[in-house]
Structure 1
Amino acid sequence: MNLSRFQYNMFSKKILKARTGIEAIVACRNNPDIDLVLMDIKMPDMDGYEATMQIRQFNKDVIIIAQTAYALTTDREKAIEAGCNDYISKPFGQTLFAELMKKYFKK
């Protein structure tokens, strides 16, 4: 990803980081007011599709954007079917990220 931690902070007050699908589920469960999940598809322990499906069992409202460097034509469909709101291929820049934030967080 081409965004630095500073650039993320332009869009968020608090950033949580999970290295595995299981950590992502725990972070979402422990932070029910979370607004956005940037879900990597390829993670240890559990992939992003399964993690998304499990998060959707207890949080239907959080925006989940799938991200992967392995952009296959079926990845977008699989991400949406798993419960992601959107899909983005890595690397991506600040402009594209800002457009997604405007799309989901119109303020």
Structure 2
Amino acid sequence: MNLSSNYNWEGKVLLVAEDEDFNFIFLEEILMDTHAKIIRAKDGQEAVHLIQSAPQMDLVLMDMQMPIMNGYDATREIKKINKNIPIIAQTAYHYGEAYEEIIAAGCDDFVSKPIDICSLKEMINRYLF
């Protein structure tokens, strides 16, 4: 699959929980052509609040290392609110290092940073449809 693969997620709402501006801008740019609505949370606590106040979210991209409330705790809280929302962890760890902890927290899947754009879009598409 190439970078120009067309995904049309119009009508879908993705919550990107990411405290680093550069990382959020990168994700926003690569997801822009999918026509999904992108909402940002700058920490885990804000992510939980947004899920509580906007239950129409379709998927969460969760950075695991954030201030105020980390991605592990935020995932646990979000799954209490909506156990069916897919949460994809974004982590600097590679497979095996924190995988068990990420899955135990309630994440459905994960991507390692640096993020492979094609793999991320394929993964999101699987969870949305």
TM-score past 0.5 threshold: yes
Greater share of strand residues, 1 or 2?
Answer: 2
Which of 69, 73, 83 does residue 46 from structure 1 map onto?
69
Measure the CA separation in 1 of the matches of 2:48 and 2:27. Answer: 24
Report the identity percentage.
39
The residue that corresponds to 2:126 in the other structure is 103
Q: Any unmatched runs of 5+ in structure 1?
A: none
- Equivalent residue letter for 1:25: V
The residue that corresponds to 2:47 in the other structure is 24
How far apart are 1:4 and its partner, in Å?
Answer: 4.8
Change (3 A) 1:38 1:4: closer
**Runs of 4 or more above 3 Å deviation:** 1-4
- Residue 5 (1) aligns with residue 28 (2): yes
Cα RMSD, aligned residues only: 1.9
Deviations 1:61-97 (A, max 9, x none): 1110011124373311111111100011011122111
TM-score, length basis structure 2: 0.73
Q: Could you say what secondary structure the match of 2:102 adopts?
A: helix
The residue that corresponds to 1:94 in the other structure is 117
Contact 1:3 1:94 in 2 (8 A): no
TM-score, length basis structure 1: 0.86
